[in-house]
Structure 1
Amino acid sequence: MSKNNVIIVTGANSGMGKATAIQMAKTGATVIMACRNKDRGEAALKDVRNQSGNSSVELMLCDLGSLESIRSFCESFKEKYNRLDVLINNAGVILPGRHETKDGFELQFGVNHLGHFLLTNLLLESLIKSAPSRIINVSSGAHKVGKIHFEDINLTTNYSLWRAYAQSKLANILFTYELSERLAGTGVTVNCLHPGAVATNMGVNRKTGFGTLITRMLRPFFQTAEQGAETALYLATSSDVEDITGCYFYKNRAINSSKASNDKEIAKQLWTLSEKLVGL
């Protein structure tokens, strides 16, 4: 990892994203923390700079639940930086009750998949120009029970939190595999991972406090955010995987993902739908 490298980490204000940003900043690279909330982002920025000893860490606002915000982020990034070496799509959301993004998509599908789909596509030119470069998508073992509900992609009927979350995490892997094929020969690798059960605030509703007690009760059985970030860091920095693409990792090892995640026709169908939904 060179000090000239530029790295983007989404959801870098807390949990695994913050842990990832700290470790990436310790390499001396320029790290862009792509965060939705300005106040929490600025607080995290101070921590990342202090703990890494790297002043070349920047906060840039990016709400993955807003297509307009994503486009604005990418325009601002490309105006300031002429390269992108690593894109770590870490941000994720899981909340009780059905919610929608600013553009009317079911929240988990909209943020976890569509937001990162648009972000990545808008940054591909920078990644290809900077090759060899890497894209890392944080998925989850929850993808194994997931299905892409093409007949009702926003789950307007028969909604459940886990059905929505599993669909979004399956979409992450389908996106990874399809993108890796599209980028063959460019020098850009694309991999995804299951971080394991991690004690973060991703499932906590900040307004109602939902999930706080459950998270505290289960925390002894969870990994720390730092442990959960290890595989993403491995994929971002290790020479062992510099030529590996289109794989699903857990604990620094490539493992098999679900049968559904390897369905190439579903992957292509999801890609076409995603392009339409985000306006590409």
Structure 2
Amino acid sequence: MTTHQDYGLKTPGSEVARAFAERIRGKTILVTGVSPKSIGSATVLNLASQGPGLLILASRTEARLREVAAQIAEKYPDTRVEIVILDLGSQQSVRQAAVDVAALTDKLDILINNAGVMVTSRKATPEGIEQQFGTNHIGPFLFTNLLLPLLRKAAESNPPGATRIVSLSSAGHRLSPIRFSDYNLEGKPVPPEEDHVKPLQGAFAKCAPDGYNGIVAYAQSKTANILFTVYLQKHLTKFGIAAYTLHPGTIQTDLSRDQNDELTAQFYKVAPYWKTPDEGSATTLVAALDPALDDAKGLYLVDCQLAEPAPHTRDSISADRLWKLSEDLVGEKFSLRG
């Protein structure tokens, strides 16, 4: 149970930040995927309003980061803001960004993995991984693990559960489990338990000429966000670090820039209410800040409240299997056992 059971679909993130101001004040917080008029920018602006000690903005485009940083400086001139260039689709960029973060601070109280992509045509990361899986999961997997020493340092002086890792998923996770047998969506056969939900409806079912279905690829990556959180919860509680994931709601942002009109119309059918970026940041902020979650049994939030994700995201065996696959794809082992 959350602290504010009255929070819901239309709760603004600014209200959440004010309610949990004591969990922000003086803290070091990093948010990925920060660009103007996005959930990320709304999230950092709301955090900045309550006096964090250091707010780190991370994203691919320096000009966009500086635009949001300037907005914060104008509204909240006493808030220290730093920017870090981070392309989650490039493991080299992720590794450099982790080095850059460590040069700014020796501790990290809250990490918000907000960044993500959604595409309808086949693309790959420099490492040859399907772009949505590579950017939405593998990048955050590597970045989070590289920052764990800073999170563990913060947890030494924070109350248990106040140090948090928050990863944005999506209701779209319900459309597909992890396709372990074909995570690059190359048309390889998969067993029934790895296949996407059938039949997909309308524009969601349409594939590119090469057979690539961007909705299925996106859904797989969003399932990965939840299974990643399952694994983190299992292994980080002993260090005083909590992990949560969430569906922020349907928001008109640059995430949808690759969609055609038909696909956008399909989304309007399944999600009649579209949140503002401020409303879209609310569930993220509850996940990152609400102390009541320390005593709650849950990992996934929707509209500021705990909710149940699809059954295929709650399987600890799949979480373990995804962790190993992710280690293989980044070429590095990460032990959370000691």
- Normalised by the length of structure 1, the TM-score is 0.92
SS of the residue corresponding to residue 72 of structure 1 reads helix
What are the Cα deviations for residues 174-232 of structure 1, in whole angstroms up to 9, with x where unaligned?
Answer: 00011110112111000000111111110204xxxx54897699598411111111011
Give me the whole-angstrom Cα distance separating, in 1, the residues matched to 2:263 and 2:316: 37
Task: Check conservation: 2:51, 2:79, Cα contact below 8 A.
Answer: no
2:219 matches 1:197: no
Give me the whole-angstrom Cα distance separating, in 2, the residues matched to 1:69 and 1:245: 35
2:287 matches 1:265: no
2:255 matches 1:231: no
Give the one of 120, 124, 135 matched to 2:144.
120
* One-letter amino acid matched to 2:306: A
- The aligned runs of 1:174-213 (5 Å cut-off) are 174-205=227-258, 210-211=259-260
Aligned to 2:9: none
Task: Check conservation: 1:94, 1:202, Cα contact below 8 A.
Answer: yes
Show structure 2 runs of 5+ residues with no match: 1-22, 188-210, 333-338
- Mean Cα deviation higher: 11-20 or 219-228: 219-228
* One-letter amino acid matched to 1:98: R
SS of the residue corresponding to residue 320 of structure 2 reads helix
Give me the whole-angstrom Cα distance separating, in 1, the residues matched to 2:278 and 2:260: 21
Give the one of 32, 51, 64 matched to 1:28.
51
Give me the whole-angstrom Cα distance separating, in 1, the residues matched to 2:92 and 2:122: 22
* One-letter amino acid matched to 1:27: Q
Task: Check conservation: 1:136, 1:236, Cα contact below 8 A.
Answer: yes
Task: Check conservation: 1:190, 1:246, Cα contact below 8 A.
Answer: no
* One-letter amino acid matched to 1:277: L
* One-letter amino acid matched to 1:10: T
Report percent identity of matched pairs. Answer: 37
Show structure 1 runs of 5+ residues with no match: none
Give me the whole-angstrom Cα distance separating, in 1, the residues matched to 2:117 and 2:186: 18
Task: Check conservation: 2:298, 2:307, Cα contact below 8 A.
Answer: no
RMSD of aligned alpha carbons? 2.1
With over 3 angstroms needed to count, the CA separation of the structure-2 counterparts of 1:62 and 1:52, relative to structure 1, is: same
Give me the whole-angstrom Cα distance separating, in 2, the residues matched to 1:244 and 1:53: 36
Give me the whole-angstrom Cα distance separating, in 1, the residues matched to 2:272 and 2:315: 36
2:219 matches 1:166: yes
Give me the whole-angstrom Cα distance separating, in 2, the residues matched to 1:234 and 1:190: 12
Aligned to 1:64: 88
2:61 matches 1:37: yes
2:35 matches 1:13: yes
Give me the whole-angstrom Cα distance separating, in 2, the residues matched to 1:7 and 1:79: 15
Give me the whole-angstrom Cα distance separating, in 2, the residues matched to 1:214 and 1:97: 13
- Normalised by the length of structure 2, the TM-score is 0.77
* One-letter amino acid matched to 2:289: T
SS of the residue corresponding to residue 238 of structure 2 reads coil
With over 3 angstroms needed to count, the CA separation of the structure-2 counterparts of 1:245 and 1:123, relative to structure 1, is: farther
Task: Check conservation: 2:164, 2:241, Cα contact below 8 A.
Answer: yes
Aligned to 1:154: 184
Give me the whole-angstrom Cα distance separating, in 2, the residues matched to 1:261 and 1:220: 25
SS of the residue corresponding to residue 130 of structure 1 reads helix
* One-letter amino acid matched to 1:149: R
Give me the whole-angstrom Cα distance separating, in 1, the residues matched to 2:145 and 2:298: 16
Aligned to 1:253: 305
Q: CA deviation at 1:48?
A: 2.9
Give me the whole-angstrom Cα distance separating, in 2, the residues matched to 1:162 and 1:190: 26
Q: CA deviation at 1:239?
A: 2.2
Give the one of 107, 121, 129 matched to 2:153.
129
What are the Cα deviations for residues 70-125 of structure 1, in whole angstroms up to 9, with x where unaligned?
Answer: 11111111122011000000001001201111221111101100000001011111
